[in-house]
Chain A
Amino acid sequence: MSSRQRLRAWIAAPVLGLLAAILGWGLSGAPGFGHFHGAYGDLLSATAVPQRHSTNVVTAIVFDYRGFDTMGEEFILFASVVGVVLLLRDMREPSGDRDDPVASDAIRLFGVLMVGVVLVVGLWLAAFGLVTPGGGFQGGVIVAGAIVLVFLAAGYRPWRAFGRQSLLDPFEGVGAASYVALGLAALIAGAPFLHNLMGLGTSGTLASGGSMTLLNWAVAVEVAAANLVLYTEFLESYLVPHLDER
């Protein structure tokens, strides 16, 4: 620790102690652990299944009761990916010739076998998001993880088949746009924005929840593509030397 840091630590400690004390004092008035009495949660738990035919109440909130917020959330993700791309995707030499082989056969075999397993888990989480724990956000991240496993297990060249901007950018755009399109479709049909238009189906099956199913998949595509764009950008800026490198 340098002297400057030690000084900072000495100044920070009492201030943070005071902050923690105030926070603790404020929270001591909160409902005791395990004794929450929020009315909205109970109301939604009771009505989500009869009203929206979605047995996962959290997903029903995310894609229906609070669907408009989720659109904003999706565009936060979209905007930050655009920001990362703007920062990192400049002056870079496109390359596909870098060879970065993984040496161990055991790692290659196990990794490549796991790609399929992880991919199926991700798709399952996304598909059954309205029935059991999961959803588009969670499933999308795991699908992206399966593709990253290709890089980890098989090296850079096989990864290039997936980690290409020309391939990922359309998916990201389509994922984000179709959420808005589904909202506008409700407007055109004369209902409020993002109104659940489609037949609600049978609770507990894949075809339940009406429009939520489509919104769920739109988010899954958007999240998987956004994560892969992020990985690709960071990976390329690490692996591919910049032209303007000093």
Chain B
Amino acid sequence: MTLLAYGVAVWVFAIGIYGAIVSRNLIHLALCLTVTQSSTYILLLTVGYRHGAGAPIFEDVKLGTAAVDPVVQSLTLTDVVVSVTVIALILALALDVHRQSGSVDPDEISTLNG
């Protein structure tokens, strides 16, 4: 059980890269990269988890109550924002490639442009 969450993170990471390697569509490729990046959320939140602890928010909980690690949570927030910006840029590039070459298959594009 202790290794399950780490295992899920490794699995999501590997399956995302596998999808990117065999991808035949740039949109699919971008989504695979997002899947790969999602593994970092799982890993970060797993690292910071504590049994029996609540959220690091002390609005209606007494200060000093056990809480999960807030630092990794704010890192995850940064991670999500970076993920959004990266996917936006990649999708814009994919649109541009489609406009230039009329295809979204990475293999066809590379044969067209040498």
Contacts and interface: CB of A to CB of B under 8 A. Distances in A.
A53 to B, nearest CB: 11
Contacts of A133: 55, 57
Interface residues of B, number: 57
Given A12-B18, A33-B46, A83 B89 contact: yes
Interface in B52-81: 55-59, 63-64, 67-74, 77-78, 80-81
B7 to A, nearest CB: 7
Interface in A26-50: 27-28, 30-36, 38, 40-42, 44-46, 48-50
B21 A8 contact: yes
Contacts of B82: 73, 76
Contacts of A58: 56-57, 70, 73-74, 77
A80 B88 contact: yes
B109 interface: no
Contact residues on A (Cβ < 8 Å of other chain), bracket: 35 or more
A12 B21 contact: yes
Contacts of B70: 41, 44-45, 48, 57-58, 61
B112 interface: no
B88 A34 contact: no
Interface string A1-44: 11011001100110011011001100110111111101011101
Q: Which 5 A-B pairs have the closest CB atoms?
A: A41-B69, A80-B85, A34-B51, A57-B56, A57-B70
26 contacts: A1-B22, A5-B24, A9-B21, A9-B22, A20-B10, A30-B47, A33-B46, A34-B2, A34-B50, A38-B69, A41-B48, A41-B67, A44-B70, A46-B64, A56-B56, A57-B56, A57-B67, A61-B71, A66-B74, A76-B81, A76-B82, A80-B89, A84-B88, A87-B96, A88-B92, A133-B57
Contacts of B73: 58
* Interface core residue of A28, A32, A45, A234 (most chain B CB under 10 Å): A45
B78 to A, nearest CB: 5
A132 B59 contact: yes
A227 to B, nearest CB: 8
Contacts of B72: 38, 41
Contacts of A70: 78
A17 B7 CA distance: 13
A172 interface: no
B58 A55 contact: yes
A237 interface: yes
Contacts of A234: 91-92, 95
A84 B13 CA distance: 26
Given A45-B58, A88-B96, A246-B99, 7 more contacts: A12-B18, A33-B1, A41-B56, A55-B59, A56-B59, A58-B57, A76-B85
* Interface core residue of B1, B74, B81, B93 (most chain A CB under 10 Å): B74
A17 to B, nearest CB: 8
